Amino acid sequence: MLRKGKTSDIKRLCEIEKLATDIYYQAGFTKEEASPRTEENLLELIKDAIVIVYEENNSILGYAAWRKYSEYSHLEEISVDPRHHKKGIGSSLVKHNPFLSESKIVSLICYSNAPWAYNLYKKLGFEETTKLPMELQDIWQEEVYRGLNMSNRICMINYII
């Protein structure tokens, strides 16, 4: 079941963040390249974005955070409990964009060297872009400010027809 995230979900979202980030570390990423969101980060995210959680049997298995920028909807974050990968949860969260009817383009920023994420986005119709509209430039700068290593980060877009 998909539903809107609540502040009472924060503890479980933190757990998912840590579990999901471990995959990046196992793949050779450093803490500078990939660090889990903190409880404070997640509280801000729930306050400032639309967070959708995927829940089964009263247990949250993943979440996605969406923001709306003019003609773009932006997937700011997606995280799925690794014990539940390959079950369509990530696809469901990406497809359940709360701004879909108001958007011409869906955007995201991801690591090009994280094939589990990159391949999911490609499968869902996202394409790499180097032409960043102002909204994506601002998002890029927010990620720099959060301390993420941007050397392998790419922007991807999906045009809604």
Look-up of token digits 């392998």? 152
In this structure, what CATH number is given to the domain that contains residue 59? 3.40.630.30
Amino acid occupying residue 147: G
Give the span between the Cα atoms of 105 and 18, in whole angstroms: 30
Residue among 35, 11, 41, 39 at smallest CA distance from 21: 35
Range(s) of the domain holding residue 142: 2-159
Any idea what DSSP says for residue 87?
A: S
Look-up of token digits 């995280």? 79
Taking the whole predicted model, whether its pTM rises above 0.85 is answered as: yes
Per-residue pLDDT of the chain (161 residues; tens, 9 = 90+): 999 999 999 999 999 999 999 999 999 988 877 889 899 999 999 999 999 999 999 999 999 999 998 888 999 999 999 999 999 999 999 999 999 888 888 999 999 999 999 999 999 999 999 887 787 888 888 888 877 777 888 999 998 75
Any idea what DSSP says for residue 49?
A: S
For residues 100 and 52, the answer to whether their CB atoms sit within 8 Å is: no
Count Cα neighbours of 56 within 13 Å in the Cβ-side half-sphere.
9
Domain count, the chain: 1
How confident is the model over 67-93, as pLDDT tens digits? 998 888 999 999 999 999 999 999 999
pLDDT of residue 137: 84
Give the span between the Cα atoms of 116 and 114, in whole angstroms: 6
